[in-house]
Amino acid sequence: MANIKLKCVSCNTEFETQVKRYNYLKKKGRKQWFCSKICCINEFKSELIEKNCLFCNQSFLGTTKRQSTNFCSTKCSKKYANSFMDRKQISDSLKDYFKNNPKVKIKKEFKNQCIICNKFFSLNKQRITCSTECFKTRCRETGKRSVSSQSNKRRSKNEIYFSELCKTEYNNILVNEPIFNGWDADVILPIQKIAILWNGKWHYEKITKKHSVQQVQNRDKIKLDEIKNLGYDSYIIKDLGSFDKKFVEDEFRKFQKWLCGRMIDAPSS
């Protein structure tokens, strides 16, 4: 393939290139020729000069290119551009545009009343709480109702048998009563101020796909705090197995022993 000799504009070095490539680049408008990329970069490299920012007047290094920035930072560039804007005029023009242009869809504003604090609020989407605080309060109330509605369904045979043993030994026994600010305990001894929590696998292991162990344990922490706030002591029994009469009776004897020790340690009135 035929070559043609050329001279580098930057370093004056003679070099050869293909005639086909030369004709193609010349047709595209190429007038200067370089022997390498480094020579090309050095030839078009812009000179660095000191400039003053148009907004804050701080000096910075820029180039002599026509497209070179006149600002020391993007922040100054935005502030400079915004200084020429009339915000009220733009706001009014945008309102007129959205109002008069039928193709533009205007989001509907929903006026709702918060179900927690009864405060009226308006948003672009349907919500039933006005703030994050009210949303968290609603979640706590929903959790209480969920625990209360499911307490009887999730009572195991071991738990039922344990409550029956308690009824034979103690008076005024309460079972799954939500007396702790909406939270319940599996067995409650009001005279002794004891709340017994019979925690099965549900509290420690993932049972179903939608089941969240972390959520259950967070609810348990809230419940323990509410029990303590009412002046009760908590007693937790961990049950990870199936129905076992001997296991329940052993746990009942352990509880009696713990309760006797608590009564001995308690200060006399």
Same domain, 173 and 120: no
Same domain, 168 and 139: no
The pLDDT, as a whole number, for residue 269 is 45
pLDDT tens per residue, range 188-246: 999 999 999 999 888 888 888 888 888 888 888 988 999 999 999 999 999 988 889 99
pLDDT tens per residue, range 31-72: 888 888 888 877 777 777 888 998 899 998 887 776 778 888
Share of the chain above pLDDT 90, in %: 20
Task: Flag the least confident range among 89-103, 143-157, 190-204.
Answer: 143-157
Q: What is the largest CA-CA distance in the chain?
A: 115
The mean pLDDT value for 144-162 works out to: 70
The pLDDT, as a whole number, for residue 189 is 93
Closest CA to 186 of 137, 138, 220, 210: 220
Residue 34 CA: distances (Å) to CA of 5, 22, 42: 12, 12, 10
Q: How many CB atoms lie within 10 A of CB 143?
A: 18
Helix, strand or coil for residue 66?
coil
Same domain, 114 and 171: no
In the DSSP assignment, the letter for residue 105 is P
Q: Where are the alpha helices (DSSP H) in the chain?
A: 19-27, 37-44, 74-82, 87-100, 132-151, 157-169, 213-229, 245-265
d(CA 233, CA 191) in angstroms, rounded, equals 12
Structural domain boundaries, residue 210: 155-264
The mean pLDDT value for 120-138 works out to: 76
The mean pLDDT value for 127-139 works out to: 80
The pLDDT, as a whole number, for residue 107 is 61
Last residue of a domain, one of 132, 151, 170: 151
Same domain, 227 and 181: yes
Identify the CATH number of the domain in which residue 229 sits: 3.40.960.10
- Please state the pTM of the whole predicted model: 0.46
The mean pLDDT value for 138-165 works out to: 73
The pLDDT, as a whole number, for residue 152 is 52
Last residue of a domain, one of 99, 128, 151: 151
d(CA 112, CA 128) in angstroms, rounded, equals 7
Statement: residue 89 has pLDDT above 80: no
The answer to whether position 60 is within a domain reads no
d(CA 76, CA 87) in angstroms, rounded, equals 18
The answer to whether position 140 is within a domain reads yes
Same domain, 176 and 118: no
Helix (H), strand (E) at residue 235: strand 233-238
The answer to whether position 163 is within a domain reads yes
Residue 7 CA: distances (Å) to CA of 28, 35, 44, 54, 253: 19, 8, 17, 43, 103
Last residue of a domain, one of 120, 151, 182: 151
Residues pairing with 177 in the sheet: 185
Same domain, 137 and 189: no
The mean pLDDT value for 136-163 works out to: 72
Question: In degrees rounded to 5, what are phi and psi of residue 5?
Answer: -90, 135
The pLDDT, as a whole number, for residue 206 is 86
Statement: residue 125 has pLDDT above 80: no
* C-alpha count within 13 angstroms, C-beta hemisphere, residue 194: 22
Same domain, 141 and 166: no
The answer to whether position 141 is within a domain reads yes
Share of the chain above pLDDT 70, in %: 87
Closest CA to 148 of 186, 117, 201, 120: 186
Same domain, 169 and 132: no
Q: Which residue has the tokens 């209480």?
A: 144
Same domain, 187 and 204: yes
The answer to whether position 37 is within a domain reads no
Structural domains in the chain (count): 2
Q: Structure tokens of 32?
A: 């200067």
The answer to whether position 62 is within a domain reads no
Report the chain's mean pLDDT, rounded to a whole number: 82
Same domain, 138 and 191: no
